[in-house]
Chain A
Amino acid sequence: MSKPEKLIENGIRLDGRKPDELRPIKIKVGVLNRADGSCYFEFGGNKVIAAVYGPREVHPRHQQKSTSAVVRYRYNMASFSVEERKRPGPDRRSIEVSKVSREALEPVIFEEYFPRSAIDIFVEVLQADAGTRTAGINAASIALADAGIPMKSLVSACAVGKVDDTLVLDLNKDEDNYGQADMPIAMTPDGKITLLQMDGHLTNEEFKEGLEMAKRGCVAISEMQKAALVEKYSSQVEGDVLE
């Protein structure tokens, strides 16, 4: 697709959103039976699935830490997740995304509760539409809670960016490709930032304003994450859930 003439018209974006509006989100908890915790997460056109295993024995053995658990995060894009077939397997980009996503979640996990063990997180991107790493982190954080792993809090993530000199929340594919800046952010609901990346250019003021926008976005997402977790246990059987 070639560059559209205007990405924002009369304050409305190409997909009909306002600048500070998130894409529609759909969450399902516990979709995989084999995993200890799992989550399916739709973020606009993004479709990702996260699976958490563990704490479990560490293989290979030399990776194990004697005083805490090792957290391993694998971000992987399916070959059919993008328009042009993606060559399967890890590449430079997915290795980087795996690393930063792991570091976005590690601060909230009580790793020291499980010495000599491993917590494995797998994130598979089934369909990509800009912002897959944020979708992956959102999904992984729910899957971790579903697996019963002790955490300080959930982690929520979303991106801000600049298109047509306007700050926008949660960029879509076109805005990502043709915009001036993209800044994915992950944080806990009380505002501790665990991931912040940026490509493109923002002024000091824009950065500050963008950060505030992303914070509001993350708070909104964290509410949805909570609702999804509660939903898993209220929809199962008739009767009063302890609430």
Chain B
Amino acid sequence: MDKKLVIPGEFLSDDINRADEGTYVEDGKVYSSVFGIASLKNRIKVVSLSGKYIPRPGDMIVGIITEVSFSNWIVDIRSPYEGLLHISEFPRRIENTDMSKYLNVGDSIMALVADVDPTMKVELTLNDQRLRQIKEGRIIEVTPSKVPRLIGRSGSMIAMLKNETRCSIFVGQNGRILLTGKDKDLDLAVKAILKIERESHISGLTDRMTRFLKEEKGKQGKEPEKEVEKEEIKTEEHIEEEKIAVEHEKVEEEKSGGILDELLGNGK
């Protein structure tokens, strides 16, 4: 097996040229710098089992507006650093005074990290075809370091999930995941994602997930009344996330036209 669980300071290799993320080099030797899973194939790197999201340019993330200032929205990106979304990075020209009409405190957005400078000033942008304001769906949170595992090798895991649960899933690099679909399907998808997060360090994950989804779907098909019981055994985290989603829906109910409508000129 070329993967193993390592602690900080564990010796990994003599070949410093292959040292990658999660490692450090001292006296010509490579050591692990975090507690996580080391892979020694090709590049030597250690994927941490926990830790905060550190933004990098090019990351797609899910953020929540926390403040509207003179010409910036300040966005919570689930990191030690806050994200700044400048008014000019909004897909169309708007006035300073109108900023909160388009994006207000509590709104969620899909955003792209445009730039991160050495003092960790994080600049976000909405100027991308794939990005939009989040109007409906559920947002759940997982450990950011598990995101690659959730996506799978060249997107295999997430594609499987989308297929099996019939949900549309957007995975932010910061560990926030947006799910849209039918309520029942969402429950299943959330369950599956939390399972992936919990068991990402155990081998044979994809097979286990395929089996899990089959079983769960079988249950759903046979006894739909079981749903009530499932509600009760939801984890605390899950409930919290649902609250977020519910709150979100409320916001959406209050104002009929979302940003897309406005963009398309439907509001006027």
- Evaluate contact between B52 and A145: CB separation under 8 angstroms: no
Contact present for A242 and B24 (CB under 8 Å): no
Cα–Cα, bound, A121→B202 (Å): 30
Q: Which among B2-10, B99-107, B134-142, B243-251 touches the partner chain?
A: B2-10
Please determine whether B7 and A145 come into contact, CB atoms closer than 8 angstroms.
yes
Tally of chain A residues near chain B (CB < 8 A): 41
Nearest-neighbour CB distance to chain A for B18, whole angstroms, equals 18
Contact with B along A140-173 (1 / 0, CB 8 A): 0000011111111110000000000000000000
Contact between A54 and B202, CB atoms less than 8 A apart: no
Residue from A108, A188, A226, A239 in contact with B202 in the complex, judged by beta carbons closer than 8 Å: A239
Pairwise interchain contact B198-A236, C-beta atoms closer than 8 A: yes
Chain A residues contacting B5 (CB-CB under 8 Å) are: 230, 233-234, 241-243
Within 8 A of A (CB), among B103-157: 118-120, 145
Q: With an 8 A cutoff between CB atoms, is B90 at the interface?
A: no
Given A239-B203, A242-B37, A152:B9 Cβ within 8 A: yes
> Is A110 among interface residues, defined by CB-CB distance under 8 A?
yes
**Which residues of A are found within 8 Å of B31, using beta-carbon distances?**
152-153
Interface of B is mostly: loop
Known interface pairs A114-B54, A242-B203. Does A145 touch B80 (Cβ–Cβ under 8 Å)?
no
A65 to chain B, nearest CB (A): 11
CA distance A211 to B110 in the complex (A): 56
- The answer to whether B35 touches A116 (Cβ under 8 A) is no
Q: Cβ of A57 and Cβ of B33 under 8 Å apart?
A: no
Binding site for A on B (CB under 8 A): 1, 3-5, 7-9, 22, 24, 26, 31, 33-37, 48-52, 54, 80-82, 118-120, 145, 198-199, 201-204, 208
Q: A113-B54, A148-B34, A237-B199 are in contact. List 5 more A-B contacts (CB 8 A).
A: A116-B81, A153-B9, A154-B7, A237-B198, A241-B201
